[in-house]
Chain A
């Protein structure tokens, strides 16, 4: 990559054939982006749901600076940030670690917050030779593929979100800690995580105005007003539907790749399969608005 790539007209956005996910080259993210380039990045991110920039070695300062160009930092609960870097989470899994890899369930980041993060930015420092892909599911095309009658029914529903299943006082991480798990990342389980927050089941994207399914098996507890069993009948269908191959993009990492996804219209899933290898990533989030 030459220094000339700071020219905005050198940006190349290469979407996947489906339109979901796009690679962006021709920029140096370690330096402030010219306004036109920044606008192009934001547009590609909104249009394609997930964008990635290969070959971008970044310091912590540069990662923070890039994040702030997209928007103010989000609020990241339940995981201890890096020492002296309150807005950076280190996702680290050691070669000999046995704990289930972090993020191994379909979710949209922090969807249990009143104003969940618009973007999550993940920067790869060490990637394993095998495994460790991230899968993304497109909530927009999944919604579009439903029948009009089912869409109409879903648009009227409110989903209840909570962090309780992973982070709650009786959640998966609490159980893991009780059984002396060997996880490297410092998870802070909390009764705070047991709180619930309602969001529309179908969310309208504030930039594109497209509707997207906004539920996930990790953070959605149920549908407002319905029993768990009733909710499961509807949500179970939606989870299977959203994560069909035709709506999923499997992202392969390389070292020094920066990937930014839109939590307002996508789910993601951290695949494992790299026991015996170190995987090291740094993550920031960008604040979002209240789902509508």
Chain B
């Protein structure tokens, strides 16, 4: 199998692509180049019918960069792999709101490779929104305004001691390891060279130097704009499905619509660098 045999199917007009006809355990260099280009072009890529052991999962992730271990998530048996787990009796899920992973880090992760391990019969889809498309659809005036602005991202309200999760049945570790970071509101993507909107409802709390009250209306506008259906796609998981999303170019949202069933995913997160 070589790169020419890959089949790429866009998930929607604005976000994501499925790559078919490839075995992630045996990616040739030319296939890898095709996959890399698809990742760069579409913000999130999906694979079907894979048979990845934890070791295969790690090996694929390492082709993209160093693995980072999320401070707050519970690891699986392998410390490099985090569990995204919801048990039958739990009602709150992890990631049930639009967000970008790790935007609270000074050097946010490139993205995560998520492998389905145990799925509910129905539900548990993941939705993605493309921040290249969201940026490109802004007016020239607002693009110009946003290009000189930076925003503060924090995880205190998500993973900290006073977070909204504390009153739920989801538990995270290391609630004292909270942190903030400041990033440009519009980043130039290090891989694609394209501009992307880099604020997200999960972790962005205000524009740098602006009060919370001043920031709220414009952030809320951007948050509503960025999830226009034209910029989104919805991935339905099946056994063997793998998703690899780009945190610098997409948001994601884990649908919480499968109460009474277990869902277990393995996540590996890949280190990134500073954003400009």
Chain A residues close to B by CB (< 8 Å):
146-150, 152-153, 156-157, 223-227, 229-230, 232-234, 236-237
Docked-complex contact A237 and B214, CB < 8 angstroms? yes
For A229, what are the chain B residues with a Cβ–Cβ distance below 8 Å? 221, 225
Interface size on B, residues (CB 8 A): 21
A156 vs B146: C-alpha distance when bound (angstroms): 12
Q: Does B64 belong to the interface (CB within 8 Å)? A: no
Interface residues as binary, B122-161 with A (CB distance below 8 Å gives 1, 0 otherwise): 0000000000000000111110110011000000000000
A230 vs B146: C-alpha distance when bound (angstroms): 12
Q: Does B207 belong to the interface (CB within 8 Å)? A: yes
Q: Which of B214, B216, B218, B221 makes the CB contact (< 8 A) with A147? A: B214
Check A147/B139 contact, CB under 8 A, given A156-B145, A233-B217, A233-B218: no
Docked-complex contact A153 and B144, CB < 8 angstroms? no
Docked-complex contact B139 and A230, CB < 8 angstroms? yes
CB distance from B222 to the nearest CB of A (A): 8
Docked-complex contact A226 and B141, CB < 8 angstroms? yes
CB distance from B42 to the nearest CB of A (A): 26
A224 vs B144: C-alpha distance when bound (angstroms): 11
Chain B residues close to A by CB (< 8 Å):
138-142, 144-145, 148-149, 207-211, 214, 216-218, 220-221, 225
For B217, what are the chain A residues with a Cβ–Cβ distance below 8 Å? 233-234, 236-237
A234 vs B216: C-alpha distance when bound (angstroms): 10
A196 vs B139: C-alpha distance when bound (angstroms): 19
Q: Count the A-B residue pairs with Cβ separation under 8 angstroms: how many? A: 55
Docked-complex contact B210 and A230, CB < 8 angstroms? no
Interface centre among B209, B214, B216, by most A CB within 10 Å? Answer: B214
Docked-complex contact A153 and B148, CB < 8 angstroms? yes
Docked-complex contact A225 and B142, CB < 8 angstroms? yes
Docked-complex contact B139 and A149, CB < 8 angstroms? no
Q: Is the interface of A mostly helix, strand, loop or mixed?
A: helix
A234 vs B220: C-alpha distance when bound (angstroms): 11
For A147, what are the chain B residues with a Cβ–Cβ distance below 8 Å? 209-211, 214
Interface centre among A147, A227, A236, by most B CB within 10 Å? Answer: A147
Docked-complex contact A230 and B144, CB < 8 angstroms? no
CB distance from A154 to the nearest CB of B (A): 9
CB distance from B227 to the nearest CB of A (A): 14
Closest to B220 in A: A233
CB distance from A62 to the nearest CB of B (A): 46
A225 vs B147: C-alpha distance when bound (angstroms): 14
Check A225/B141 contact, CB under 8 A, given A150-B210, A150-B214, A233-B218: yes
For A148, what are the chain B residues with a Cβ–Cβ distance below 8 Å? 209
A237 vs B218: C-alpha distance when bound (angstroms): 9
A192 vs B8: C-alpha distance when bound (angstroms): 55
Docked-complex contact A157 and B221, CB < 8 angstroms? no
For B218, what are the chain A residues with a Cβ–Cβ distance below 8 Å? 233-234, 237
Docked-complex contact B141 and A223, CB < 8 angstroms? yes
Interface centre among A225, A232, A236, by most B CB within 10 Å? Answer: A225
For B141, what are the chain A residues with a Cβ–Cβ distance below 8 Å? 157, 223-226, 230
What are 11 pairs between A and B in contact, CB < 8 Å?
A: A147-B214, A149-B210, A150-B207, A150-B214, A223-B141, A225-B140, A226-B141, A226-B142, A230-B142, A232-B221, A233-B221
CB distance from B126 to the nearest CB of A (A): 28
A233 vs B217: C-alpha distance when bound (angstroms): 5
Closest to A228 in B: B139
Closest to A234 in B: B218
Check A225/B144 contact, CB under 8 A, given A233-B218, A237-B218: yes
Interface centre among B138, B141, B148, B207, by most A CB within 10 Å? Answer: B141
CB distance from A156 to the nearest CB of B (A): 7
Docked-complex contact A149 and B207, CB < 8 angstroms? yes
CB distance from B110 to the nearest CB of A (A): 29
Docked-complex contact A149 and B209, CB < 8 angstroms? yes
Interface centre among B148, B207, B209, by most A CB within 10 Å? Answer: B209
Docked-complex contact B138 and A230, CB < 8 angstroms? yes
CB distance from A292 to the nearest CB of B (A): 20
For A146, what are the chain B residues with a Cβ–Cβ distance below 8 Å? 214
A130 vs B79: C-alpha distance when bound (angstroms): 74
A217 vs B144: C-alpha distance when bound (angstroms): 24
Closest to B146 in A: A153
CB distance from A6 to the nearest CB of B (A): 49
CB distance from B205 to the nearest CB of A (A): 14
CB distance from B145 to the nearest CB of A (A): 6
CB distance from A213 to the nearest CB of B (A): 13
CB distance from B210 to the nearest CB of A (A): 5
